Structures are given as structure tokens and as C-alpha cells.
Chain A
Amino acid sequence: MKKIVFLLLAVLCVSFLSGCEDKNKEGGKTAEKRKAEGVTGDALVISTLGDASGLIYNITSDSASHEVSQYIYNGLVKFDKNLNIIGDLAESWEISDDSKTITFKLKKNVKWHDGEPFTADDVEFTYKFMIDNSTPTSYDADFRLVTGFQVIDPYTVRISYAEPFAPALLSWSMAVIPKHLLEGKEAAKSSLMRSPVGTGMYRFKEWKSGESITLEANEDYFDGRPNLDRLIFRIIPDLNTTFMELLNGSVDIMGLTPTQWVKQTDTALFTNSYDKYTYLAPSYAYIGYNMKNPLFEDKRIRQALTYATPKQEIIDGILFGEGVPAHGPYKPGTLWYNDNVKKYEYSPEKAKQLLAEAGWADSDGDGILDKDGKQFSFTLMTNQGNSVRTKIAETVQQNWSKIGIKVEIRVLEWASFINEYIDKGKFDAVVMGWNIVQDPDPYDVWHSSKCGPKMLNFICYSNPEVDQLIDDGRHTMNPQERKKYYDRFQEILAEDQPYTFLYVPNALVALSKRFREVDPAPAGITYNLEEWYVPAGEQKYRFEK
């Protein structure tokens, strides 16, 4: 149905717009630097699909809440544009020789939005808050590994771990929250959920429930005031509506769907006002095989299934070409990615050969492989509400039938899918996706100890060598040293094929042309939001101070 709507709309676009004159201004993207005068002002209007549930970063877990509150708080560390870890509230840090202790020196000129100074006590409070059993946070795991927390002076903290823990440094990118406002209070019911106080570059201004959340520039931000006066988050639950609002100019930035990107944004109305940016998104799609199912025990079977999966056809047909084939769990172009692994180009012949080696043949001539009187057939499951995954399932169903494998597709509502099938291990194969998180530690998804209900290695992949590599990588702080373990880990994974890695999609962003200093990088596009500005003549919104 959606498709039909858009075909129709595309037709409408053409007929309505052909009358419009082409008022294309000279391409405005000169690299003119931030000037002192007239460069602040204006607002960026961002759309979110849902309303935030609250604005204390640490105890919310929905993406809308995090999208808004990331501008209100700071962590001790953060990423730069190339995903290197740099200081945020921390001036510098030292890691002890045994890699078990991190000492952070904090910045001294930082103030909370209410004017109180930020000190080490706030960091200690945040740590205690995260591990407190009455705190409803879902990000406590890393903080529970801390064995000692010491405030050395108001601007120095020392944190120790029982053994070296590589993701430790990055775990301190968690938002630091104000002790003086939250101590002894029940955070979830605190007024800070609705009107937060942080140290970040934007401060809270207004929240109209279900409609919009507005932040305004923090004049006293320790790293200099951001150029844009306001960030306005509009809650628009429907992507088609968001796109209309974008065309109408009432939303400035939006992640497009591949259809919108390819088919609906080549009109003058669009290109006059918007630039399109694309970069690899931090996620990948895969088909996972239940390793406890005897059908998938033999790695030749899994390799055969990967050989028979047309990754490029999936990317071209379903994503309109907006993605790259995936061969492992890391994002191409990042430090951790190992390109030197076994790759499986589409080849039904090789697949057939491997299946024959494993003893599968079509002995009764019905077109389906069999072995010991059993047919090669299984169920491929995925969750409802993600049409891309359903289309992937249909594509591989068709391709696998060509090599004599019968696949049935089941699409299930998310909760029952996870609860009744994934958690109980009652599945053959699934089409799913993972976000690629910044820290490369694959422990939760690939370590054999993480096979069990409510754990992420739900396919129960188990390889002692991989376990060892993951453990070693986890205890190595030096990135170059650590990379060696993960390179080998990726090689083994490529050989074992517990997943058929499908693709890493492109992020497709449309952004109003009036914003300057926009520079997509591995970290995404909004990582340098504080530097964005709108030249005085093009500013759209004006605010009274």
C-alpha cells in the first residue's frame, strides 16, 4: 500500500512542480569559516518518531530520550569525528601499568546549568547511582565491574577494576548527573526527568508533551557556546508525514528511507533546499543459524547457505543499492574491521558442491535435498513491522530453493518472537540485525558463556579459540594489540559462518542547505553540531533573548 501511495505522490510531485520556476541559488556551500558577527542564531528542527520518556539519560532507554538528552549532558570521555576517544568532562586520564586503574583529571571551568560548579563528587555520585539497586537503569553492567572508586581531590578521580577491562574507558562516556539536585531523591520521579539540568552545550527550555521538546544554547558552555540558538525536536510518529514536513520546510534534518532517497528527492523543490548526505550506518543485517540444531551443525552447510545468498542482489533490490555487503561484525572503514577474511561471493554451484560433500542429495527427485530419509527444510523467522527483513527472507527463500532447500517463513510480533522463540532457542534460522557499538568487545554476542535465555548469543555459537580471543581482547587496553585478537576472531567467524552476514546499510540524511560546517565523518553527521551555523542572511527563526 505504501508503495502505491508514493508512486502516486511521485506522479503528483512531477505534475505540480513542473510549473515552478527553477530558482536555484548559486551553490551556497562555500567553506567560509565561523565569523564572529551574525553567525549565531537560528534553530535546527529535528524530528523524532516518539516522545521522550524522560530526560535523565542514565535511566531512560528509548532512542528519543537519548537523542534529546545527549546534548544536555556530558560524559567524562567522548568520540571525535574519527571515533578516537577524547576527553569531554575529563581534561586527561592515565591508565596504570597493570591496566587495572584509570585516573581522570577533570576540567575545572565546568558549571551545571543552574550555575553550581561541577566536581569529582558528581562523578562519584553518578557511579554510585548507576550501581544502586533502586536505580531503574538498564546500563549498569559495566559499572558493576568497578572495584574501587576514589575521589582524590575535587578534580581527580581514580577508578580501579579487578582485572584489565578494555571497554572501561569508553563506559565513562555515560552522562554525569548533578549530585546536588539528585542526592537522596528518587530519580525517576524527580523533576529533572521533565526539566533536566546538565553540563551540556544545550540547556532545557520547554517540553510540550507529545508535540515538541526545545533546547536552547548554553551561553556558559565550557567549550564555547554552540552557534545555533535552539534545537527543536518535533515528535512526528509517521515517516511519511515527516517527509512532508521536510518538503514543507518545517523539519530541517531527517533520515530518509531508501525509497525516498532514490525516488522522491530528485525534484527541484527538494534539491533547492536540501543537501543529501550518505555514510555507512553503524549496523548490520544477518541471518543467524541455531547452532544447537543438528541441521546446521556442519560448517559446510552454513557456508553453502552463505554461498547461495545473493548479498548484492539484496542490497540492490531492497535497499536500492544503499549499502555494502557485510563479511563480519565490524563496520568497514573502522580500526577494528578486518577485510582480509574469507568472502563468499554468490555461487549456487559452490553451495551445491558443499552440500553434496556433507551428504545431502536429491535422491527421490522431488527437487528438495534429503539425507537419511529427511528433507532439508527449515523455518526462517523474523519480526513483524520491519518490511526489509521480510523481503530479505523472501529473497533467500527463493534463492535457497534453487539449491534444493525448502524454507518456510514465519513473521512474528516482536515480543512473542523474542520471548517464545529466541529466548527459548525454539528457532531454526532468523533474519535480524545488530547495531555496531563503538567498543569492539564482542563478548556479549559471541562468547559461549552468553548462550542462554535473555542473552545475546542466542544462536549458541561456541568455539573455544574464539572464547579465548574474546577474553584476551577484553583484557588488553592498547588498541593495536587488541586489534590482533579481533582480526583473528573475524577470520574464524568468516570460516565458521554462524551468521550469514548480509550488509551494512547506508545512513541517508537530508539536511537543509542553510546549515554550514556540516562534515560527515565516521562518527556520523551531528558529531560537530556545536560548529554548525547559518549565515545571517539565511536565518529562518529568530528568538528573543
Chain B
Amino acid sequence: MLRYIAKRLAGMIPLFIGITLISFVVIHLAPGDPAQFIASMNPKLSETAYQKFVKMYELDKPVLERYINWLGKFARFDFGESFSQDGKTVMEKIKERLPVTIWLNVAGMVLIFLFALPLGVLSAYYKDSLFDKGVTVFVFAGFAMPTFWLALLCMYYFGVVKGWFPISGLRSFNYDYLSTFGKIADIAKHTFMPVVISVFGGLAGISRFARNSMLDVLKEEYVTAARARGLNESRVVFTHALKNALLPVVTIIGLSVPGLIGGSVIFESIFSIPGMGQLFYQSVMMRDYPVVMGVLVIGAMLTLAGNLIADIAYAAVDPRIRYGSKKSN
């Protein structure tokens, strides 16, 4: 097992270099550069000042040389400094944004699994019933509805008309003066609408997945055998069928790890949430290469790690899978 992990980790290094090289080249292929954004349509900028920005951002060097410099810095865990005028490092910028995004995504994901799994399992069990069809319509309505549209309607009704929830943002003005309990309540109130809306949109995927997986399992012979042995229905379903049906879900959890740091630009803009989605979008629009690379690298590392964890977890939960041991022959 350890040898297997070591081998996989070693294999990731060229993969990682490949990913970053391609990303680096592609973002530099996009027309425009950061100096030009400052210079364009600004008569108050002298020609010397433009050259100064070009030098500052090292835009006069070839892309490959810049990539190698970047890689060298990265090997020392230095993501560099953002090109934007605030002079922050990439790490600082990501650190500022990450907790919010992770909090929203984790809350969303936990709720999605909490609701979608039972919905899927029950839909499978009561296949083609009114319940099954109702759930199908419900989850697909959530999937198909543009979130920003739903968000605006909810903001108007629950925020402006009813006044139950704050419309946007993360905290109230008086947040700093609240008691600890008040602070928690304040954040919960602010997160309620965004999380519920994102959960509504995310139910379809997981619940469909669980439903199909459960349907397959319910057709298996060991389920028939369990029933034949006269076990009561809840034991058949929850102990024998469900356990096996949820195996593939482990993969899904592994694969959704990188998604935890990603945010949707539209969603974050509508709710004024300063998260990773906005950071990434703005950096791309301003051609802030170091920040773009920083976010991409973290995403790439989490994807690779997520895959590895999923594979390992698989071996742990599924007795049919063993890595790196040839004892069986």
C-alpha cells in the first residue's frame, strides 16, 4: 500500500509540471497584459511610465523564462506577488478569500448529501411512484433554474418584502459589537439564502446518482437472496443494499474536494460574497498572472490529491480492490 502511494505521488510530479506549464502558457496567450490595462485609454500616463510597468511585471522576458522563474519560486512555496496595485502576495489574497468559500461550499455540500442521498434512495425504492416522479421534477427544476434569477426573486421576497433575511453580504455592520452567539446567528442568517439556493441547484446530481446506484443494487441477486431468507425489508434495504449502493458515492466525495475551493462568479456577485470565484474572475480579467496561477495550482493539487484519496478510500471500503499486493496468485 505505501509503495503504491509513493508511486502515485512520484507520478504526480510530471503531471503537475505539465498542468502548470500548459496553464501558464495559455493565460499568457490571452490578448492584453497587465501593463496595458493600466495604460489603455489613460492620457495621464507617460510613455516612460508604461515601460516602467512592463519592467515591473517582467513582461519583457520570454514566457518560458518567466515560467521557470515561477516554478523555481513555487518550489520554495512562494506564489509571488499579485500584479494588482494593492501589493499583496498571492498567498495573502487567497487566504483572505478561502475561508468564506470553503465555509459556503462545505455547508452546501453537507446539506446536498444530507438531502440528496435519502431522496435518491427512496426514489429508487419507490421507483415510478408519484413520489419518485415528484422528486424528479423537483430536483430537475432546481438544476434547470438559473441561480441568479432565483436568487433575485428570493432576495426581493424574503429580503425586501418580508425582511426575514439580509439581502447580501457576509456580516452586519454591527457584527463586531455582537456577542459570540450573536455573531454565529448573524453569519448563519447571512449564509442561509445563498446556501439554500445552491443546495436546491445541486440536489439533482447526487440524488440521481444515488437513485441509479440503488436501482442497480436492488436488482442484485444477494438482495433477492436476503429477501428469500426472510429478512425484514428495512434490513434488506439499509444493511444489505444501501451499503453497497453508497460505495460509488465515495468516489464522488473524493472528486468534489477541488470543488470546495471554487466559487461561482455569478453567485458570489449576486450575494456580494468575497470568495474565490470573484478573485479568480477579476484576476483573469486584469491578467493578474500570479494570482491566476496560484488559484489554478491549488485547484490542480486538490484534484490530484482528491483522486488519490478516492482511490485509497476505495481500497479501504471495497474488499474486491487491493493495490500493490500480488499475494492472491
The reply to whether chain A is a binding partner of chain B is yes
Pair A454/B272 contact, Cβ less than 8 Å: no
Size bin of chain B's contact surface: 35 or more
Determine whether the beta carbon of A139 is less than 8 Å from that of B45. Answer: yes
Q: How far is the CB of B151 from chain A (nearest CB, A)?
A: 9
A187 to chain B: closest residue by CB = B87
**Cα separation A508 to B157 with both chains bound (whole Å):** 25
A211 and B274 within 8 A (CB): yes
Q: A59-B85, A237-B272 are in contact. Are A245 and B42 (CB under 8 A)?
A: no
Say yes or no for B63: interface residue by CB 8 A criterion. Answer: no
Say how far B63's CB is from chain A's closest CB, in angstroms.
16
Interface assignment of A248: CB less than 8 Å from any CB of chain B: yes
Q: Is the CB of B44 within 8 A of A142?
A: yes
Question: Which chain A residues in 384-416 approach chain B with CB under 8 Å?
Answer: 413-416
Distance, CA A234 to CA B168, complexed state (A): 10
A contacts with B: majority SS: mixed
User: Is B272 a contact of A238 with CB atoms below 8 Å?
Assistant: yes
- Which of A189, A235, A414 touches B87 (beta carbons < 8 Å)? A189
Question: With A415-B32, A454-B50 in contact, do A211 and B155 touch (Cβ < 8 Å)?
Answer: no
Whether B146 contacts A1 by the Cβ 8 Å rule is yes
Q: Quick check: A241 and B271 within 8 Å, CB to CB?
A: yes
Closest chain-A Cβ to B111's Cβ sits at a distance in Å of 23
Q: Report the nearest B residue to A134, measured CB to CB.
A: B52
- CB distance B42 to A61 under 8 Å? yes
Of residues 19 through 65 on chain B, the ones whose CB sits less than 8 Å from some CB of chain A are 30-32, 36-46, 48-50, 52-53, 56
Q: Are A235 and B272 in contact, with the CB atoms below 8 A?
A: yes
- Option from A209, A232, A236 in Cβ contact (under 8 Å) with B96: A209
Residues of chain A in range 430-472 having any CB-CB distance to chain B below 8 Å: 443-445, 454, 456
Contact, CB under 8 Å: A454 / B168: no
A144 to B56 CA separation, bound complex (whole angstroms): 20
**Nearest neighbor of B97 in chain A, beta-carbon distance:** A210
Contact in complex: B32, A54 (CB < 8 Å): no
CB-defined contacts of B208 to chain A, threshold 8 Å: none
- A162 within 8 Å of B (CB atoms): no
Q: Is B282 an interface residue (CB 8 A)?
A: yes
Q: Is A36 an interface residue (CB 8 A)?
A: no
B287 near A: Cβ within 8 Å? Answer: yes
What residues of A have a CB within 8 angstroms of the CB of B152 in the complex?
A: 5, 9, 240-241, 244
- Bound CA–CA A139/B50 (angstroms): 11
CA of A543 to CA of B44, assembled, Å? 40
Give the Cβ gap from A329 to chain B, nearest Cβ, in Å.
Answer: 13
User: A241 contacts B274, CB within 8 Å?
Assistant: no
Inter-chain contacts of B49 with A (CB < 8 A): 137-138, 140-141
| Interface 9-residue window, one of B2-10, B113-121, B169-177, B294-302 | B169-177
Q: Which of chain B's residues have a CB closer than 8 A to the CB of A248?
A: 159-160, 163, 167
Tell me whether A332 is interfacial, beta carbon within 8 Å: no
Q: A112 CA to B63 CA in the complex, in Å?
A: 45
Q: Which residue of B lies closest to A139 (CB)?
A: B44
Residues in B with CB closer than 8 Å to A16 are 157, 161
User: At the interface, yes or no: B278 with Cβ under 8 Å from chain A?
Assistant: yes
The interface residues of chain A lying within 8 Å CB-to-CB of B160 are 244, 247-248, 269
Q: B128 an interface residue at 8 Å Cβ cutoff?
A: no
**A31 close to B (CB within 8 Å):** no
A312 at the binding interface (Cβ < 8 Å): no
Is B270 touching A241 in the complex (CB atoms < 8 A)?
yes
Query: Closest chain A residue to B278 by CB distance?
Result: A237
A57 smallest CB distance to B (angstroms): 11
B303 at the interface (CB under 8 A from A): no
- The complex places the Cα of A244 from the Cα of B163 at a distance, in Å, of 12
B43→A244 contact, CB < 8 A:
no
Cα distance A269–B173 when bound, in Å? 23
Q: Within 8 Å CB of A53, what residues of B? A: 84-86
B44 touches A236 (CB 8 A): no
Q: How far is the CA of A208 from the CA of B176 in the complex (A)?
A: 11
Chain A contacts for B97, CB-based, 8 A: 210
Residues of chain B with a CB closer than 8 A to A211's CB? 169-171, 272, 274
B50 touching A241, Cβ below 8 Å: no
Q: Is B156 interfacial (CB 8 A cutoff)? A: yes
Task: Tell me if A133 is interfacial: C-beta within 8 Å of chain B.
Answer: yes
Q: How close is B291's CB to chain A, nearest CB, in angstroms?
A: 12
Indicate whether A141 sits within 8 Å of B36 (C-beta atoms), given known contacts A1-B146, A236-B272. Answer: no
**Is A138's CB under 8 angstroms from B44's CB?**
yes
Contact check, A456 vs B43: say whether CB atoms are below 8 A apart: yes
B168 interface neighbour in A54, A61, A241, A418, Cβ under 8 Å: A241
**B181 lies within 8 A of chain A by Cβ:** no
* Given A136-B52, A241-B152, 8 other A-B residues pairs in contact with their CB atoms under 8 A: A16-B161, A53-B86, A141-B44, A141-B46, A212-B173, A238-B272, A241-B155, A418-B40
9 contacts between A and B (CB under 8 A): A188-B86, A210-B274, A232-B173, A237-B268, A238-B269, A241-B167, A248-B160, A269-B160, A415-B30
Enumerate the 3 nearest inter-chain pairs by beta-carbon distance, A residue then B residue, closest first: A210-B274, A415-B32, A444-B43
